[in-house]
Amino acid sequence: MSHKKQKQMQIKSKLTVENKLSITGWFFILPATLLIFAMSFYPMFKALYMSFRTGIGVNMEWAGLYNFTRMLKDKIFMQSVRNNFFYLIIQVPIMLVLAITLASILNNPKLKYKGLFRILLFLPCATPLVAYSVIFRSLFAIDGYFNTILLNFGILSKAYNFLGHPTSAKIVIIIALIWRWTGYNIVFYLAGLQNIDPSIYEAVKLEGASKFQTFFSITAPLLKPMILLTSIMSINGTLQLFDESVNLTAGGPANASITMSHYIYNLSFKYVPNFGYAAALSYVILLLVAFLALIQMKVVDVRD
């Protein structure tokens, strides 16, 4: 057999092995791909189709942009949008600043019992969403722990209904969110801080820079990608807020603390089912998340 024929047979054999490996690889990822398509992409396209229809079940009819124009006149939905942005504007900055501050403290090599503090700060994240909402609801109830303390210290003359007033109900949700998610963001910032070369801080210290100057000139710029990531995740989570509104305040009083996701749930399963309108509102949340994420990526460009 000539050398040329042997080389051709080797190439053919190699291609055959590569094809076999490729087919085997596709065989392994095919079940996961089908599940992702069936459980994620198909419902997304189905919801988009439903957002242009109105009615129930087989009686659903094409409605065009009716559901999208209807939401502009829906007072409850507009209230839920205002509530979501109220939570976002107040809770997200406080939570992220607190997370960076605590992460910087935990990153101090001289700090003792760092492992214990990390566990205590991250522990709220391990609490189930429903459980922690119920706990905060009992804490701020009329006969709850906070009212008991305020009454015993003489700060209040009678118990205050924290969950029965619009402003205080929203504040309770914000406090609960900060307690639940600050530790989650600390993990990201702590990972980012530990990747910064300590020699940089030593050089800045020799130059006589203060702690505030060091943070704003060294730490914050180097943490920019992590700040962008946590900001996008926090905004995404806040715009999809559901458990706290349902389990903590039940959207009350009089829908004063209801969120967009809670209202969509009510439209689908609590009121007379209106899946077309609920699907349209779901895509509004999607567009809001995408729009705000795009703005953040433009403002905080990591390629600077």
- Entry pTM: 0.84
Per-residue model confidence (pLDDT) at position 181:
93
64: left (phi over 0), alpha (psi -120 to 50) or beta: left
pLDDT tens for 228-245 read: 889 989 999 999 999 999
Q: 70-299 has which CATH code?
A: 1.10.3720.10
Per-residue model confidence (pLDDT) at position 215:
82
Instruction: Round to whole Å and give the CA distance between 287 and 249.
Output: 26
Asked if residues 255 and 77 have their Cβ atoms less than 8 Å apart, the reply is no
What token pair was written down for 167?
């402003």
Per-residue model confidence (pLDDT) at position 58:
63
Instruction: Round to whole Å and give the CA distance between 231 and 187.
Output: 14
pLDDT at 3 over 70: no
Pick from 45-49, 74-78, 122-126, 300-304 the range whose average pLDDT is largest. 74-78
pLDDT at 12 over 60: no
pLDDT tens for 213-231 read: 888 888 888 888 888 889 9
pLDDT tens for 251-265 read: 989 899 999 999 999
Instruction: Round to whole Å and give the CA distance between 51 and 92.
Output: 30
Alpha-carbon dihedral angle through residues 64, 66, 67, 73, given to the nearest 10 degrees: 160
Least confident of 60-64, 79-83, 289-293: 60-64
Q: Under DSSP, is residue 61 helix (H, G, I), strand (E, B) or coil?
A: strand
Report residue 184's pLDDT band, with 50, 70 and 90 as the boundaries: very high
Least confident of 26-30, 110-114, 299-303: 299-303
Per-residue model confidence (pLDDT) at position 8:
54
Residue for token digits 């969120």?
259
State the CB neighbour count (10 A cutoff) for residue 98: 14
Backbone phi and psi for residue 54, each to the nearest 5 degrees, phi listed first: -140, 155
How would you write 69-91 as a 3-class SS string?
HHHHHCHHHHHHHHHHHHHHHHH
- For the chain, the structural domain boundaries read 3-50, 70-299
Residue 158 to residues 153, 170, 172, 236, Cα–Cα distance (Å): 12, 21, 19, 39
pLDDT tens for 16-56 read: 666 767 777 788 888 888 999 898 889 889 888 988 988 77
Per-residue model confidence (pLDDT) at position 112:
86
Per-residue model confidence (pLDDT) at position 301:
61
